[in-house]
Every structure is written in structure tokens, then in C-alpha cells.
Amino acid sequence: MHKSVKEGKTVSPETISLSVKGPGIQRMVLVDLPGVISTVTTGMAADTKEAIFSMSKAYMQNPNAIILCIQDGSVDAERSIVTDLVSQMDPQGKRTIFVLTKVDLAEKNLASPGRIQQIVEGKLFPMKALGYFAVVTGKGSSNESIDSIKDYEEDFFQNSKLLKNGMLKAHQVTTKNLSLAVSDCFWKMVRESVEQQADAFKASRFNLETEWKNNYPACASWTGMSCSRRPRTRSWTREAILQKKLWERVSTHVIENIYLPAAQTMNSGTFNTTVDIKLKQWTDKQLPHKALEVAWETLQEEFARFMAEYKGKDQDDIFDKLKEAVKDESIKRHKWNERAMDSLRVIQHNALEDRSITDKPQWDAAIQFMEETLQTRLKDTDSVIGDMVGPDWRQRWMNWTNRTPEQHVRNETKNELERLLKLHEDHTAYLANDEVTTVRKNLEARGVEVDPVLIKDTWHQLYRRHFLQKALFHCNLCRRGFYYYQRHFVDSELECNDVVLFWRIQRMLGITANTLRQQLTNTEVRRLEKNVKEVLEDFGEDTEKKVHLITGRRVQLAEDLKKVREIQEKLEAFIEALHKEK
């Protein structure tokens, strides 16, 4: 006890616990607090009085605590301040028992025995209590035995003058009887409190079960996730998606690095040679990588869409975080089959080497593909030129906008270069230095100062538009060129090598998309499904992950129901045991 009190202190809030077990011993917790004092004496810490008050209040404030208020009968009652503290903590006296000690000494020293009667009848102090008791505990000698204390106690109450005068008739008790009185009071409070708590938990359980039935009628039980649905299986990948995505990824390279450089050679033989060389270089280095990138991205998108289809209007969001985490972790673990790239490269090589268009529908499909591609590029080029030269007269008139100085210079340069193209419709893509000088001098003559770099930059876009317009016109002519192509007739107007190129590209896209679909369906999807199972198993063994990822009102409601049900069952069992003990 002394070690628990810090240096410079008189009392300590530290609890020293002692458990006493045995037959016939009442089941309760008895807390012996330091006596409440009114004055700090020499040798005590300055805060002793406040520390005792604070400690006592902390225990007395517990609504389930019984306050055993001890008053020393050998001193004047007015000296005591403990009754004031008890009155503050339990104003109605519903859980207070008052005990007057040393009644034998009070009888010898007290001039007015009637004061003892007032005390034990609850009339002297303003505090209220459930009962008032008077006790004696031996003669105060440390050598006394338990038996001698009991004998003295019995002898006092039999021979007491107060007893003979009838003053303590209703209040005399032995120590044993006081203990029983405290026990009865305690268990009465416990029964009432537990029964109230049981009713409250019963009502809570009813409300929670009602909420479950109303919000989750499809769930058979709140103890499991029986209402979760398995997703319906479907084909994840479609060739059309793969083909479209792959063309979007490689179209710029095909047009800018293969078709335009070859078409601008103005020679049929050179065109085919240039195309073959560039196609082979492209297939060896870039095309298989691009194709697998597209397949991998498509697989991720389809997987994400597939996971999203779990959620319907009749489902809550408890698995949302889990699904997202499983999706991300499964994709992170997935590695594409390394042998797929080599086999894909061989297939693409073979597809691009074939030049034999066997029927008219294939020819028409290639022309349509070429026409759509060129129109898209022409539209983009017109947009770039429009930004360079600014709004035309109609836009300026309707929208009240003007060209910037730079746009004005660009527009004048464009007009001059367009005159050059009209004079030389078969002009090459390269603008010679003397032509640049001529254009610059013509502009200067009109008061427009222009840089040669700007002239070449403008020429690049104008020639590109001019070339694409001519290519589209030639594409339209080639609609009737399949007969000449099939019989190998030579007609400079209907030499449709560019149509054959687009057919080769289109055929390669179709074969590649079909190959990727097979790889996805036969290999990658299964490997991804295996990853999903492994991730779910790993997450299932990680309790912290499950708590973090499986969230939502249904989970919380199930947890609340489980706790309330367990508590209610224990309270009912406890109440039954209390009634049996009574």
C-alpha cells in the first residue's frame, strides 16, 4: 500500500485488488475508499482533501454502485462532512445505506442518547438512504478474536440501555445482518438494472431485424452473405473491339511513315518496294508490341466492366471495395505469355506479305477502309490549316472575330502557295529553295514580311491537304479497277497499289484481332481468373484486409445484430440465474 503512494502524496488512486472466494460468501465488489476529511493536518500532502473527494466522487457517480456511508458514532455528528458528499451523489437515497459505528462508545459518552435515535431514524442529517444501521465491532483491541468480537456484539445489543429504552428496536443489527442487507440491496438493484437492459436490447434487436427484413428481403439470413449473386459468364473479348483499338493505335504510323512516303514517290514500282520495306521494319520492331498493348488494355477494360456488372439495383455496396482491390491486384499480378509475341510476329508477317485480293467484296471493303481513313486525315488537316490562318470572311462576319497578325501572315502565305499548287498540280512534297524565295518576294511585294520556315511549314499542311484530296479522287476511280487488278492490266490511271496496301493492312488487323482473341480466350483469361482466385484466397486469410475491404450498411447491420443477440441471450441467462438465487 505504501509503495502505491507516490512520493509527496498521502493517498493514491491506484487500486489494490483482493479476491476472496469460498462457500456462502456474497458475490459483490467492495471498494474501501479513504475517509473523507475536512482538514489537512501536518504531514499530509496539500491536495489530500481534494484527492479524496475526487476519488470518492468517481466511484459514487456509477449508477450501479451502492454507497455505504459510514459515520463514526463516537464523535459529534456535526463534524462529519461525508453526508453532504453522499447527498450530492445520491439525492434520492435510492442506493445509499447509512451505518453508524461505535454505538457502544456513543452510549457511554453521549449526553443525549436521543441523538443516536435521530441519526438511525434518518432525522438528524438531511441525506436520504434506503436503510439506517447501528453496529459495534468489538472493544477495539487488535488482540481480539472473531468469536470474542461476536460475543461482545451480541452482549451489547442485549444489555444496551438504548435497546431497553426501545430506541434501537428497529435498527439494531449485527455485522452479518448488515452484510446481508447490503447484499439484498445490491441484488435488487442488479435485477432491476439488468431487466431494463434486457428490455432495451430486445427492442434494439427487433428494430435491427425489421431493418434487415425491409432492406434486404432477398437475404435468407443476416449471419451470411447468402444474397450475393455470382456474375453470369459472357464473352469478354470481341474481335471488333480489338481491331478498332489496334487501328486507332497504329493508324498514324501507317499513314505518316508508310503510306504517304511511298505514295509521294509517284512511281508504281518504287511505291511497292517502299511499302514492303517499311512494313517489314514495322512488323519486326513495333507492330507485335502495339498489338499486345491493345490486347492487354482491352482485357483490363473488359475485366473492369465485367466486375462492375455484379452490382445491380437490388444489391448494396458491401463488396465494392473488395471487388476494386481484387481487380487491381489481379491485374498487377498478371503477366502476358512471353511466347505470344513471337507467334504474333510470324502471323503478321504472313498477313502483310499477301497481295492477292480474291474477290470484289474484299476490294470494295479495302476501298471503303481507305476512303474513311483518308477522309479522317483530311478533316484533321483542314482543322490544322483553319487554326493557322484564322476565321474566314463568313466567320468574321457572323461571329465578329478578327485574325491575329500571325494568322494574317499565314493566310497570305497560304494564298500564295495555293496559286503555286494550281500551276503545278503534280508538284512533289518538297518545296525547293528557289520556290521559297519566289513566294517570299511575292509576299514582300504586297507588304507581308514572312520567314522561310513559316513558308515551309504552311506548305507542308497545304500539300498534305492537296495530296489527300487527290488520293480520295483516285480512290473513287479505283472502285471500277478490280477487273484490271485481277487480270494484271496496266493502266496508269487505275494502278491501285494504295488500295492493295490498305487491303493488306485491313487483313492484318483482322487476323491480328482474331489471334489476340484466341490468346485472350484460351490463355490470358484463364490465367487472369487463376490470379483472381489466388488474390481472393490471400485476402481471405488476411483479417485486416477483410475488415477494411468488406464494408457497408449490411455488414454493420449484421455485426450489430450479432452483438445485440449475444448480449440479450446472456442477459436473459443472467436474469434467470438471479431469480434462482433469490
Cα angle, residue 338 at apex, residues 332 and 340 outer, rounded to 5°: 110
Of 168 and 57, the one with more pLDDT: 57
Q: Is 402 left (phi over 0), alpha (psi -120 to 50) or beta?
A: beta
H/E segment holding residue 98: strand 96-101
Strand segments (E) across 129-242: 131-134
Distance CA 70, CA 73 (A): 9
> Widest CA span of the chain, in angstroms?
147
Residue 463 CB: number of other CB atoms within 10 A?
Answer: 20
37 within 8 A of 50, measured Cβ to Cβ:
no
For residue 132, what pLDDT is reported?
83
For residue 519, what pLDDT is reported?
82
Query: Quick one: which of 490, 489, 498 has its CA closest to 470?
Result: 498
For residue 231, what pLDDT is reported?
42
Tell me the chain's radius of gyration from C-alpha atoms.
50
Q: Render the burial of 341-355: b for 16+ CB within 10 Å, e for the rest.
A: eeebbebbbebbeee
The pLDDT-based confidence of 280 (bands split at 50, 70, 90) is very high
- 524-537 mean pLDDT: 83
| Grid cell listed for 484 | 484490271
CA 428 to chain centre: 61
| Grid cell listed for 156 | 451489547
At a CB cut-off of 8 Å and minimum separation 6, what does 301 contact?
none
C-alpha pair distances (Å), 106 with each of 6, 112, 118, 166, 405 = 37, 10, 13, 16, 115
| Tens-digit pLDDT profile for residues 60-111 | 988 888 899 888 877 766 667 888 888 888 888 888 888 888 888 777 766 5
For residue 314, what pLDDT is reported?
47
Q: What percent of the chain has pLDDT over 90?
A: 13
- 337-362 mean pLDDT: 87
Distance CA 384, CA 398 (A): 21
| Grid cell listed for 404 | 491575329
Of 317 and 142, the one with more pLDDT: 142
435 within 8 A of 270, measured Cβ to Cβ:
no
| Tens-digit pLDDT profile for residues 393-425 | 777 777 777 888 898 888 889 898 988 888 887
Mean pLDDT of all residues in the chain?
A: 80
pTM of the model: 0.54
Distance CA 132, CA 443 (A): 120
Question: What's the one-letter identity of residue 274?
Answer: T
Residue 551 has phi, psi (to 5 degrees) of -135, 170
For residue 310, what pLDDT is reported?
57
Question: What's the one-letter identity of residue 5?
Answer: V
| Tens-digit pLDDT profile for residues 152-209 | 888 887 777 665 554 444 344 455 566 666 666 766 777 777 778 888 888 888 888 8
H/E segment holding residue 492: none
- 330-351 mean pLDDT: 84
| Grid cell listed for 259 | 503510306
- 362-389 mean pLDDT: 91
Distance CA 250, CA 286 (A): 9
Distance CA 249, CA 241 (A): 12
Of 463 and 538, the one with more pLDDT: 463
- 425-449 mean pLDDT: 87
303 within 8 A of 539, measured Cβ to Cβ:
no
Instruction: Indicate the range of 11-25, 208-222, 235-249, 259-273 predicted with least confidence.
Output: 208-222
| Grid cell listed for 15 | 487500486
Distance CA 321, CA 325 (A): 6
For residue 368, what pLDDT is reported?
93
